[in-house]
Amino acid sequence: MADLGVLGGTFNPPHIGHLVMVGEALNQLGLDRVMLMPVARPPHKEAPEDPGADVRLELCRLAAEGDERIEVSDLEIRRGGASYTVDTLRALHESVPEHALTFIVGGDMAYSLPSWREPEAILDLARLAVAEREEIRREHIAERLEPLHAGSQLVFFDMPRLDLSSSAIRARVASGRPIRYLVPDPVAEAIEARDLYPRAAGRPAA
């Protein structure tokens, strides 16, 4: 049985923070592979300056180039509509039943899990791996999620502090500032070639 990690998100665009999280999860959790799972449409938030799901999918494929441990899935995009984790995990169990699933999230997302659709089912379908930097925060998350599972479905792994977000990348592009070293080179090249995240009309460059 292979251990498959799943990292979902809008990936608008994917950046080095995503890849560092994937690398740490692979190293610390003994995963065989990690799957990037871009959403078709986020269920809980808008995706500003969204170039479209197909473009975000291609950016993820460019970000994963050269690392055979990372794959990219179009499962949620093919399904369309709002993307709910429980539906995705059920679909993965049907398509790759031989894989043990680990769903990778940040601390804030883990803390909000009780408000997700069918949170108990999520923890039945997959182990939840939380990237969190502070031990006291880990205690709060573990306490909050304790009623949802039997205790074996929650693990933590260390994540270097990187104050980086997709929204910050978009803002830098829109203001004409460089993004090299903040995203993989193929992603930066695609953003420039496709003129993604352009500056709004009348908005001066930084």
Asked if pLDDT for residue 47 goes beyond 70, the answer is no
Asked if pLDDT for residue 15 goes beyond 70, the answer is yes
Q: What are phi and psi of 83, to 5 degrees?
A: -105, 120
Segment 68-84 mean pLDDT: 93
What pLDDT sits at residue 11? Answer: 96
Segment 179-188 mean pLDDT: 97
What pLDDT sits at residue 177? Answer: 96
Mean pLDDT in the chain?
91
Kindly list the domain boundaries of the chain, sorted by start residue.
2-158
Q: Can you spell out the DSSP letters for the chain?
A: -EEEEEEEE--SS--HHHHHHHHHHHHHH--SEEEEEE-SB-SSS--TT---HHHHHHHHHHHHTT-TTEEE--HHHHH-SB--HHHHHHHHHHH-TTEEEEEEEEHHHHHTGGGSSSHHHHHHHSEEEEE-S-HHHHHHHHHHHGGGS-SSSEEEE--------HHHHHHHHHTT---BTTB-HHHHHHHHHHT-SPPPTTPPP-
Q: What percent of the chain has pLDDT over 90?
A: 78
Asked if pLDDT for residue 83 goes beyond 70, the answer is yes
What pLDDT sits at residue 44? Answer: 56
**Could you confirm whether domain 2-158 is CATH 3.40.50.620?**
yes
Asked if pLDDT for residue 200 goes beyond 50, the answer is yes
- Name the pTM for this structure: 0.91
What pLDDT sits at residue 136? Answer: 63
Lowest-pLDDT range, 3-12, 29-38, 129-138, 187-196?
129-138
Q: What are phi and psi of 103, to 5 degrees?
A: -95, 125
Lowest-pLDDT range, 16-30, 67-81, 126-140?
126-140
Segment 14-28 mean pLDDT: 97
Asked if pLDDT for residue 71 goes beyond 50, the answer is yes
Q: pLDDT: is 49 or 176 the higher one? A: 176
Tokens linked to 85:
């984790």
Segment 75-86 mean pLDDT: 92
